[in-house]
Copies of this chain bind each other. A is one copy, B any other.
Protein backbone atom coordinates (compact mmCIF):
# COMPACT_ATOMS: atom_id res chain seq x y z
CA UNK A 1 0.00 0.00 0.00
CA UNK A 2 1.35 3.42 -0.89
CA UNK A 3 0.59 6.51 1.17
CA UNK A 4 -1.98 9.04 -0.10
CA UNK A 5 -0.62 12.00 -2.02
CA UNK A 6 -1.89 15.36 -3.16
CA UNK A 7 -0.65 16.90 -6.36
CA UNK A 8 0.97 20.31 -6.81
CA UNK A 9 1.19 21.84 -10.29
CA UNK A 10 3.90 24.38 -11.10
CA UNK A 11 4.58 26.44 -14.20
CA UNK A 12 8.34 26.83 -14.55
CA UNK A 13 10.42 28.87 -16.97
CA UNK A 14 13.27 26.55 -17.95
CA UNK A 15 15.10 25.15 -20.92
CA UNK A 16 14.22 21.64 -22.00
CA UNK A 17 17.60 20.18 -21.03
CA UNK A 18 17.20 21.29 -17.39
CA UNK A 19 13.55 20.63 -16.66
CA UNK A 20 13.77 17.02 -15.47
CA UNK A 21 16.50 17.81 -12.94
CA UNK A 22 14.65 20.95 -11.91
CA UNK A 23 11.43 19.01 -11.34
CA UNK A 24 13.24 16.43 -9.22
CA UNK A 25 14.91 19.14 -7.15
CA UNK A 26 11.56 20.83 -6.46
CA UNK A 27 10.06 17.47 -5.47
CA UNK A 28 12.85 17.13 -2.89
CA UNK A 29 12.73 20.77 -1.77
CA UNK A 30 8.98 20.59 -1.07
CA UNK A 31 9.20 17.34 0.88
CA UNK A 32 12.38 16.30 2.74
CA UNK A 33 14.58 19.26 1.76
CA UNK A 34 17.84 17.32 2.05
CA UNK A 35 19.97 15.07 -0.17
CA UNK A 36 17.90 11.95 -0.88
CA UNK A 37 21.09 9.85 -0.89
CA UNK A 38 21.47 10.67 2.81
CA UNK A 39 18.08 9.16 3.71
CA UNK A 40 18.22 5.53 4.86
CA UNK A 41 14.63 5.09 6.02
CA UNK A 42 12.74 3.04 3.41
CA UNK A 43 9.32 4.33 4.50
CA UNK A 44 10.42 7.95 4.00
CA UNK A 45 11.91 7.19 0.59
CA UNK A 46 8.68 5.45 -0.41
CA UNK A 47 6.01 7.59 1.27
CA UNK A 48 7.38 11.07 2.03
CA UNK A 49 9.93 12.11 -0.62
CA UNK A 50 8.16 14.14 -3.33
CA UNK A 51 7.52 12.39 -6.64
CA UNK A 52 7.56 13.90 -10.13
CA UNK A 53 4.22 12.81 -11.59
CA UNK A 54 4.54 14.54 -14.95
CA UNK A 55 6.28 17.17 -17.05
CA UNK A 56 4.60 18.86 -20.03
CA UNK A 57 6.13 21.40 -22.40
CA UNK A 58 3.66 24.31 -22.61
CA UNK A 59 5.77 26.12 -25.24
CA UNK A 60 7.50 29.47 -24.99
CA UNK A 61 10.06 28.11 -22.53
CA UNK A 62 7.44 27.24 -19.89
CA UNK A 63 6.91 23.73 -18.51
CA UNK A 64 4.11 22.33 -16.40
CA UNK A 65 5.46 20.09 -13.64
CA UNK A 66 3.26 17.90 -11.44
CA UNK A 67 4.66 16.87 -8.07
CA UNK A 68 3.01 14.34 -5.75
CA UNK A 69 3.43 15.14 -2.03
CA UNK A 70 2.44 13.07 0.99
CA UNK A 71 -0.93 13.91 2.58
CA UNK A 72 0.66 12.91 5.91
CA UNK A 73 2.93 15.99 5.82
CA UNK A 74 -0.12 18.31 5.83
CA UNK A 75 -3.20 16.53 7.18
CA UNK A 76 -5.72 19.43 7.31
CA UNK A 77 -3.64 22.45 8.38
CA UNK A 78 -4.15 25.34 5.95
CA UNK A 79 -0.78 26.98 6.62
CA UNK A 80 1.03 23.70 6.30
CA UNK A 81 -0.66 23.08 2.92
CA UNK A 82 0.82 26.31 1.54
CA UNK A 83 4.14 25.56 3.25
CA UNK A 84 4.51 22.12 1.68
CA UNK A 85 3.05 23.16 -1.69
CA UNK A 86 5.03 26.35 -2.32
CA UNK A 87 7.10 27.36 0.76
CA UNK A 88 10.73 27.54 -0.26
CA UNK A 89 9.94 27.19 -3.96
CA UNK A 90 8.13 30.56 -3.78
CA UNK A 91 11.62 32.05 -3.37
CA UNK A 92 12.47 31.14 -6.97
CA UNK A 93 11.30 33.88 -9.31
CA UNK A 94 10.78 31.55 -12.27
CA UNK A 95 8.14 29.32 -10.66
CA UNK A 96 4.39 29.94 -10.40
CA UNK A 97 2.13 27.76 -8.23
CA UNK A 98 -0.56 26.89 -10.77
CA UNK A 99 -2.79 24.35 -9.01
CA UNK A 100 -3.19 22.02 -6.05
CA UNK A 101 -5.25 18.85 -6.51
CA UNK A 102 -6.37 17.20 -3.26
CA UNK A 103 -7.69 13.68 -2.76
CA UNK A 104 -11.32 13.61 -1.64
CA UNK A 105 -10.64 12.68 1.98
CA UNK A 106 -8.20 15.59 2.38
CA UNK A 107 -10.69 18.01 0.83
CA UNK A 108 -13.40 16.76 3.18
CA UNK A 109 -11.06 17.18 6.16
CA UNK A 110 -10.57 20.85 5.31
CA UNK A 111 -14.31 21.21 4.92
CA UNK A 112 -14.68 24.49 3.06
CA UNK A 113 -17.38 27.14 3.64
CA UNK A 114 -19.80 26.78 6.55
CA UNK A 115 -22.52 28.64 4.66
CA UNK A 116 -21.39 29.41 1.15
CA UNK A 117 -23.42 30.69 -1.74
CA UNK A 118 -26.63 28.91 -0.78
CA UNK A 119 -26.37 29.92 2.87
CA UNK A 120 -25.92 33.60 1.98
CA UNK A 121 -28.81 33.42 -0.49
CA UNK A 122 -31.08 31.98 2.21
CA UNK A 123 -30.16 34.71 4.67
CA UNK A 124 -31.03 37.39 2.15
CA UNK A 125 -34.01 35.60 0.61
CA UNK A 126 -32.34 36.22 -2.74
CA UNK A 127 -32.55 32.97 -4.65
CA UNK A 128 -32.84 33.88 -8.32
CA UNK A 129 -30.55 36.84 -8.85
CA UNK A 130 -26.97 37.98 -8.27
CA UNK A 131 -26.14 39.32 -4.81
CA UNK A 132 -24.95 42.91 -4.24
CA UNK A 133 -22.33 44.48 -2.02
CA UNK A 134 -20.73 47.85 -1.38
CA UNK A 135 -17.94 49.21 0.81
CA UNK A 136 -17.66 51.80 3.56
CA UNK A 137 -14.97 54.38 2.72
CA UNK A 138 -12.88 56.41 2.96
CA UNK A 139 -10.38 55.41 5.58
CA UNK A 140 -10.31 58.18 8.18
CA UNK A 141 -14.06 58.83 8.56
CA UNK A 142 -15.51 58.64 12.05
CA UNK A 143 -17.81 55.80 13.06
CA UNK A 144 -20.83 58.12 12.78
CA UNK A 145 -20.00 59.22 9.25
CA UNK A 146 -19.48 55.61 8.18
CA UNK A 147 -22.81 54.72 9.80
CA UNK A 148 -24.50 57.45 7.77
CA UNK A 149 -23.15 55.96 4.56
CA UNK A 150 -24.22 52.46 5.65
CA UNK A 151 -27.75 53.71 6.33
CA UNK A 152 -28.02 55.09 2.80
CA UNK A 153 -26.64 51.90 1.23
CA UNK A 154 -29.26 49.99 3.22
CA UNK A 155 -32.09 52.27 2.11
CA UNK A 156 -30.90 51.62 -1.46
CA UNK A 157 -31.57 47.90 -0.97
CA UNK A 158 -28.01 46.53 -0.97
CA UNK A 159 -27.41 42.96 0.31
CA UNK A 160 -23.97 43.33 1.95
CA UNK A 161 -21.97 46.32 3.21
CA UNK A 162 -18.33 45.68 3.97
CA UNK A 163 -15.76 47.82 5.70
CA UNK A 164 -13.01 49.02 3.40
CA UNK A 165 -10.25 46.45 3.97
CA UNK A 166 -7.95 49.25 5.16
CA UNK A 167 -10.29 50.06 8.06
CA UNK A 168 -8.99 48.22 11.12
CA UNK A 169 -9.05 49.42 14.74
CA UNK A 170 -7.71 52.95 14.28
CA UNK A 171 -8.25 55.73 16.80
CA UNK A 172 -10.47 57.67 14.37
CA UNK A 173 -12.96 54.76 14.22
CA UNK A 174 -12.19 52.10 16.86
CA UNK A 175 -13.58 48.68 16.04
CA UNK A 176 -16.14 48.36 18.84
CA UNK A 177 -17.57 51.88 18.50
CA UNK A 178 -17.64 51.62 14.71
CA UNK A 179 -19.39 48.27 14.63
CA UNK A 180 -21.97 49.42 17.16
CA UNK A 181 -22.76 52.61 15.24
CA UNK A 182 -22.94 50.95 11.83
CA UNK A 183 -24.92 47.93 13.04
CA UNK A 184 -27.45 50.29 14.65
CA UNK A 185 -27.76 52.34 11.46
CA UNK A 186 -28.33 49.23 9.36
CA UNK A 187 -30.90 47.90 11.86
CA UNK A 188 -32.82 51.20 11.69
CA UNK A 189 -32.87 51.20 7.92
CA UNK A 190 -33.72 47.51 7.47
CA UNK A 191 -36.67 47.98 9.82
CA UNK A 192 -38.04 50.27 7.12
CA UNK A 193 -36.90 48.46 3.96
CA UNK A 194 -37.75 44.96 5.18
CA UNK A 195 -34.66 43.66 3.37
CA UNK A 196 -32.07 41.80 5.45
CA UNK A 197 -29.03 43.89 4.54
CA UNK A 198 -25.87 42.59 6.25
CA UNK A 199 -23.00 44.75 7.52
CA UNK A 200 -19.70 42.90 7.64
CA UNK A 201 -16.86 44.42 9.66
CA UNK A 202 -13.27 43.86 8.59
CA UNK A 203 -11.23 41.92 11.17
CA UNK A 204 -7.66 43.06 11.91
CA UNK A 205 -4.70 42.11 14.06
CA UNK A 206 -4.02 38.62 15.35
CA UNK A 207 -6.29 35.62 15.99
CA UNK A 208 -6.99 36.56 19.61
CA UNK A 209 -7.94 40.10 18.64
CA UNK A 210 -10.10 38.71 15.84
CA UNK A 211 -11.96 36.40 18.23
CA UNK A 212 -12.80 39.47 20.36
CA UNK A 213 -13.87 41.37 17.25
CA UNK A 214 -16.16 38.53 16.13
CA UNK A 215 -17.62 38.44 19.65
CA UNK A 216 -18.31 42.19 19.43
CA UNK A 217 -19.93 41.68 16.03
CA UNK A 218 -22.12 38.86 17.39
CA UNK A 219 -23.20 41.05 20.31
CA UNK A 220 -24.34 43.63 17.78
CA UNK A 221 -26.41 40.96 16.03
CA UNK A 222 -24.07 40.58 13.06
CA UNK A 223 -23.53 37.20 11.41
CA UNK A 224 -20.98 38.06 8.71
CA UNK A 225 -17.37 39.30 8.83
CA UNK A 226 -14.45 39.84 6.44
CA UNK A 227 -10.73 39.13 6.76
CA UNK A 228 -7.63 39.03 4.56
CA UNK A 229 -6.20 35.48 4.63
CA UNK A 230 -2.83 36.38 3.12
CA UNK A 231 -2.23 38.96 5.86
CA UNK A 232 -3.90 37.20 8.79
CA UNK A 233 -2.51 33.82 7.75
CA UNK A 234 -4.68 31.10 6.19
CA UNK A 235 -4.57 29.16 9.48
CA UNK A 236 -6.25 32.15 11.12
CA UNK A 237 -9.12 31.98 8.61
CA UNK A 238 -9.39 28.25 9.22
CA UNK A 239 -9.42 28.67 13.02
CA UNK A 240 -12.14 31.36 12.91
CA UNK A 241 -14.32 29.34 10.53
CA UNK A 242 -14.19 26.39 12.93
CA UNK A 243 -14.71 28.48 16.08
CA UNK A 244 -17.68 30.49 14.79
CA UNK A 245 -19.90 28.13 12.78
CA UNK A 246 -22.84 30.57 12.76
CA UNK A 247 -20.75 33.33 11.14
CA UNK A 248 -20.19 33.70 7.37
CA UNK A 249 -16.71 34.76 6.24
CA UNK A 250 -15.72 36.97 3.30
CA UNK A 251 -12.08 36.66 2.12
CA UNK A 252 -10.32 39.81 0.87
CA UNK A 253 -7.46 39.36 -1.65
CA UNK A 254 -5.12 42.04 -0.26
CA UNK A 255 -1.43 41.01 -0.35
CA UNK A 256 -2.48 38.18 -2.68
CA UNK A 257 0.43 38.96 -5.02
CA UNK A 258 -1.15 38.06 -8.35
CA UNK A 259 1.87 36.83 -10.18
CA UNK A 260 3.28 33.99 -8.12
CA UNK A 261 0.23 32.03 -6.96
CA UNK A 262 -2.34 31.70 -9.71
CA UNK A 263 -5.37 33.78 -8.59
CA UNK A 264 -7.97 31.17 -9.51
CA UNK A 265 -6.11 28.70 -7.30
CA UNK A 266 -5.49 31.01 -4.35
CA UNK A 267 -8.72 32.96 -4.22
CA UNK A 268 -11.19 30.63 -5.95
CA UNK A 269 -10.02 27.25 -4.78
CA UNK A 270 -7.90 27.57 -1.62
CA UNK A 271 -9.80 30.36 0.17
CA UNK A 272 -12.98 28.28 -0.44
CA UNK A 273 -11.24 25.13 0.79
CA UNK A 274 -10.19 26.90 3.99
CA UNK A 275 -13.74 28.06 4.65
CA UNK A 276 -14.42 31.46 3.06
CA UNK A 277 -18.13 31.82 2.21
CA UNK A 278 -17.48 34.64 -0.26
CA UNK A 279 -14.25 35.53 -2.04
CA UNK A 280 -13.58 39.08 -3.22
CA UNK A 281 -11.33 39.51 -6.26
CA UNK A 282 -10.40 42.22 -8.80
CA UNK A 283 -12.71 42.01 -11.79
CA UNK A 284 -11.38 42.25 -15.34
CA UNK A 285 -11.67 45.68 -16.90
CA UNK A 286 -11.33 47.45 -13.55
CA UNK A 287 -8.29 48.76 -11.70
CA UNK A 288 -6.38 45.46 -11.76
CA UNK A 289 -4.80 43.25 -14.37
CA UNK A 290 -6.76 39.99 -14.15
CA UNK A 291 -7.96 38.71 -17.54
CA UNK A 292 -11.54 37.61 -18.22
CA UNK A 293 -10.24 34.04 -18.43
CA UNK A 294 -8.62 34.27 -14.99
CA UNK A 295 -11.82 35.72 -13.53
CA UNK A 296 -13.99 33.03 -15.13
CA UNK A 297 -11.74 30.28 -13.86
CA UNK A 298 -11.67 31.84 -10.38
CA UNK A 299 -15.49 32.00 -10.28
CA UNK A 300 -15.76 28.39 -11.44
CA UNK A 301 -13.32 27.27 -8.77
CA UNK A 302 -15.40 29.11 -6.15
CA UNK A 303 -18.79 27.75 -7.23
CA UNK A 304 -18.05 24.43 -8.96
CA UNK A 305 -20.15 21.49 -7.77
CA UNK A 306 -18.35 19.48 -5.10
CA UNK A 307 -20.04 16.90 -2.89
CA UNK A 308 -17.65 17.71 -0.03
CA UNK A 309 -17.56 21.54 -0.10
CA UNK A 310 -20.26 24.17 -0.24
CA UNK A 311 -19.85 26.65 -3.06
CA UNK A 312 -18.39 30.04 -2.18
CA UNK A 313 -19.70 33.29 -3.66
CA UNK A 314 -17.39 34.91 -6.22
CA UNK A 315 -17.36 38.69 -5.58
CA UNK A 316 -15.82 40.61 -8.50
CA UNK A 317 -14.84 44.12 -7.45
CA UNK A 318 -12.51 46.99 -8.19
CA UNK A 319 -13.51 49.96 -10.30
CA UNK A 320 -16.92 48.67 -11.45
CA UNK A 321 -20.02 50.71 -12.25
CA UNK A 322 -23.77 50.17 -12.44
CA UNK A 323 -23.50 50.60 -16.22
CA UNK A 324 -21.44 47.42 -16.36
CA UNK A 325 -23.97 45.31 -14.41
CA UNK A 326 -25.61 43.69 -17.48
CA UNK A 327 -22.26 42.86 -19.08
CA UNK A 328 -20.89 41.42 -15.85
CA UNK A 329 -23.97 39.30 -15.17
CA UNK A 330 -23.91 37.99 -18.74
CA UNK A 331 -20.34 36.94 -18.03
CA UNK A 332 -20.73 35.37 -14.56
CA UNK A 333 -24.42 34.42 -14.49
CA UNK A 334 -26.34 34.98 -11.25
CA UNK A 335 -24.18 32.87 -8.89
CA UNK A 336 -22.18 35.96 -8.09
CA UNK A 337 -22.15 38.98 -5.80
CA UNK A 338 -21.42 42.35 -7.38
CA UNK A 339 -19.40 44.80 -5.29
CA UNK A 340 -19.50 48.51 -6.17
CA UNK A 341 -17.67 50.93 -3.92
CA UNK A 342 -16.20 54.15 -5.27
CA UNK A 343 -18.67 54.53 -8.12
CA UNK A 344 -21.54 54.62 -5.62
CA UNK A 345 -19.73 56.79 -3.08
CA UNK A 346 -18.85 59.44 -5.64
CA UNK A 347 -22.57 60.19 -6.08
CA UNK A 348 -22.41 61.70 -2.54
CA UNK A 349 -25.85 63.03 -1.58
CA UNK A 350 -27.52 60.76 -4.18
CA UNK A 351 -26.02 57.66 -2.56
CA UNK A 352 -29.34 56.03 -1.66
CA UNK A 353 -30.66 56.54 -5.21
CA UNK A 354 -27.44 55.35 -6.84
CA UNK A 355 -27.50 52.26 -4.61
CA UNK A 356 -31.13 51.64 -5.56
CA UNK A 357 -30.25 51.94 -9.26
CA UNK A 358 -27.47 49.37 -8.74
CA UNK A 359 -29.65 46.90 -6.83
CA UNK A 360 -32.48 47.39 -9.34
CA UNK A 361 -30.13 46.69 -12.25
CA UNK A 362 -29.10 43.43 -10.59
CA UNK A 363 -32.68 42.45 -9.72
CA UNK A 364 -34.01 43.24 -13.21
CA UNK A 365 -31.26 41.45 -15.11
CA UNK A 366 -32.63 38.69 -17.30
CA UNK A 367 -36.22 39.45 -16.29
CA UNK A 368 -36.86 41.15 -19.63
CA UNK A 369 -39.15 43.63 -17.87
CA UNK A 370 -40.26 47.02 -19.15
CA UNK A 371 -37.67 48.58 -16.83
CA UNK A 372 -34.84 46.72 -18.60
Q: Which A residues are within 8 Å of any B CB, using their own CB?
A: 25, 29, 31-35, 37-41, 43-44, 47-49, 70, 72-73, 75, 77, 79-80, 82-84, 86-88, 90-94, 137-141, 145, 164-166, 168-172, 204-209, 228, 231-236, 238-239, 253-261, 263, 282, 287-290, 318, 341-343, 345-348
Chain B residues, Cβ within 8 Å of A38: 342, 345-348
Cβ contact within 8 Å between A77 and B205? yes
Cβ contact within 8 Å between A259 and B137? no
CA distance A88 to B319 in the complex (A): 12
Cβ contact within 8 Å between A254 and B90? yes
- Oligomer copy total: 2
Cβ contact within 8 Å between A87 and B139? no
CA distance A129 to B170 in the complex (A): 44
CA distance A170 to B257 in the complex (A): 29
Residue from B31, B94, B164 within 8 A of A33 (CB atoms): B164
Chain B residues, Cβ within 8 Å of A168: 73, 77, 80, 83
Cβ contact within 8 Å between A341 and B33? yes
CA distance A257 to B204 in the complex (A): 23
Cβ contact within 8 Å between A33 and B137? yes
Chain B residues, Cβ within 8 Å of A341: 33-34
Beyond contacts A32-B138, A48-B140, A87-B166: 13 other A-B pairs, Cβ-Cβ < 8 A, are A32-B140, A34-B345, A41-B140, A44-B141, A72-B172, A87-B231, A88-B287, A90-B254, A92-B258, A206-B207, A231-B233, A232-B235, A233-B235
Chain B residues, Cβ within 8 Å of A40: 348
Chain B residues, Cβ within 8 Å of A82: 231, 255
Cβ contact within 8 Å between A207 and B205? no
Chain B residue with Cβ nearest A79: B231
